[in-house]
Amino acid sequence: MTMEAAKPVADQIDLADVERRVKAIFIGSVGNLVEWYDFYAYTAFALYFAPAFFPQSDPVVQQLNAAVLFAATFLMRPLGGWLFGYLADRYGRRISLTLSVVCMCFGSLIIAVTPTYASIGLAAPAILALARVIEGLSLGGEYGASATYLSEVADARHRGFYSSFQYVTLIGGQLTAIIVLLLLQKVFLTPEELKAWGWRIPFVIGAGLAIFAAVMRRNLQETEAFVEAAKIVQPSGSIRILLKYPRELLLVVGLTAGGTAAFYTFTTYMQTFVKLSVGLSEDQTTFVIFGTLIFATLLQPIYGALSDRIGRKPLLIFFGVAGTLSTIPILTTLKETKSPFTAFLLICAAWIFVAGYTSINAVVKAELFPTNVRALGVGLPYAVTVSLFGGTAPAIALSFKSLGHEDWFYYYLSGIIFLSLIIYSTMRDTKHESAMHRHQ
């Protein structure tokens, strides 16, 4: 009788625990979505606002200037990774996540109110650059803190699945930016109005959403791992202590290089690629990218759950092998097609292997480090690597295109993925050898 009475209580405790975890993951993920919406609004509306800040007659030059500024903002991400990683490891994941989204709010608001080149000359792109620097700082901190938070709040059996929602919401941010673009294009504004002033609207929306996310994050529950670690060891966030893990730091760099280059190619750069290289119309471009991002979003939790069953390493190796062998033929065929549906299928084919990296990269990195330096260990080397290989991908691709050798970028991307494959092949599987329960 006692055992029977105890069983429902245990079930209630389990249900309460699941509810608590899901609520924490939802709030953390919503903030992540808002941050990435703000960041991707820049790319989604670049075709409209680039002439306002970079007045050139050649549209490729306009997009190259916008892409160079996009890459330049990534230089701030290592600083953001260090600053917000320090805050997360020293004072808690919640405060770091809240402050990062507040920074994003300021960056988005600045873009929304910046005058054009015609009004204030060179000060216009300079102010735009400042806003993007603030956003880069914010996003540099968001990745490490959110990857750490989602990994720590998940239970061990479903850590891959729960952590995959970082990229669900990351891609969701880009989808939201495209939805706003479609609504403004098709329902509310004419193309002339969008180019004249309508491109400011998404940044106003982003600033408002960021305020909402900051309020939600203030009520986030701190992770048990951080609370327990604080009782055992002094909260750290120190680079000096982080340097005690040189192998793990190099692993994060190697893990990230190929994956981030592929991710930014098939998200950020694809909108420009299918417009300028494939030759699709603006409407076709928007719908193709929107459809492929929905497909990519659906893959994330599937692959994340799969990693909980078979391990992280097989998925990473799958990405490395398929990415090395398939990138060149996919991009080559994509450039030659004139069919929006074929373009959609080819980009989806790329996502089948890219998701092998995106779905689990956050949890793999979190599982490498002990609690007292986890956010910094995940965020800082990741931000450095993304700055070198991710943020530069659109600019490198457009540079090759401006030289008349666009196909050189296909080989560059394939080579970077191959270098990461070497790392994937030699690393341990973090699902089976995790540092999640180590505090120092």
Q: Cβ(69)–Cβ(129) under 8 Å?
A: yes
pLDDT reported for residue 327: 94
Q: What is the spatial distance between Cα 192 and Cα 215, in angstroms, rounded to a whole number? A: 36
207 touches 112 (CB < 8 A): yes
In sequence order, which ranges of 114-245 are alpha helices (DSSP H)? 117-120, 123-153, 159-163, 165-183, 191-196, 201-218, 224-232, 239-242
Residue with tokens 């981030």: 260
Kindly state whether residue 398 falls inside one of the protein's structural domains.
yes
pLDDT at position 219: 77
Number of domains in the chain: 1
| Residue 128 confidence (pLDDT) | 82
* 117: CATH: 1.20.1250.20
Please state, in angstroms and as integers, the Cα–Cα distance from residue 396 to each residue in 64, 178, 185, 356, 428, following that order: 9, 24, 29, 24, 32
Q: Is 431 domain-assigned?
A: no
Helices (H), 45-122: 46-53, 59-73, 77-91, 93-113, 117-120
Distance CA 241, CA 85 (A): 13
Task: Classify residue 367 by its DSSP letter.
Answer: T
Is residue 421 one of the residues assigned to a domain? yes
The pTM score is 0.83
How much is the pLDDT for 322?
Answer: 96
pLDDT for 250: 92
In degrees, rounded to 5, the angle at the alpha carbon of residue 307 between the alpha carbons of residues 303 and 309 is: 120
- Give per-residue burial for 364-380: e unless 16+ CB within 10 Å, then b: bbbbbbbbbbbbbbbbb
In a domain, 129, yes or no: yes
Residue 3 lies in a domain: no
Distance between CA atoms of residues 233 and 346, nearest Å:
50
DSSP state of 76: G
The closest of 380, 123, 179 to 291, measured between CA atoms, is: 179
Can you read off the two tokens belonging to residue 16? Answer: 């309460």
- Rounded Cα distance between 285 and 352, Å, is 20
Question: pLDDT at position 14, please?
Answer: 63
Question: Given this model, what pLDDT does residue 416 score?
Answer: 94
What's the one-letter identity of residue 261? A
The Cα 125–Cα 426 span in angstroms is 45
pLDDT in tens, the chain (440 residues): 444 444 444 444 466 666 777 777 777 777 778 878 877 787 778 778 777 777 665 566 556 666 666 666 777 888 888 888 888 888 888 888 888 888 888 888 888 888 887 788 778 878 888 888 888 888 888 888 888 888 888 877 888 898 888 889 888 888 888 888 888 888 888 888 888 888 899 999 988 888 888 888 887 787 888 778 777 766 656 778 888 888 999 999 999 999 999 998 998 788 888 887 777 887 788 888 889 999 999 999 999 999 999 999 999 999 999 999 999 999 999 988 888 899 999 999 999 999 999 999 989 998 888 888 888 888 889 988 988 888 788 888 888 888 888 889 999 999 999 999 999 999 888 888 766 666 56
Residue 260 lies in a domain: yes
pLDDT at 7: 45
Give the domain range for residue 237.
Answer: 14-426
Residue 178 within any structural domain of the chain: yes
Residue 434 domain-assigned?
no
Place of tokens 């929602």: 165
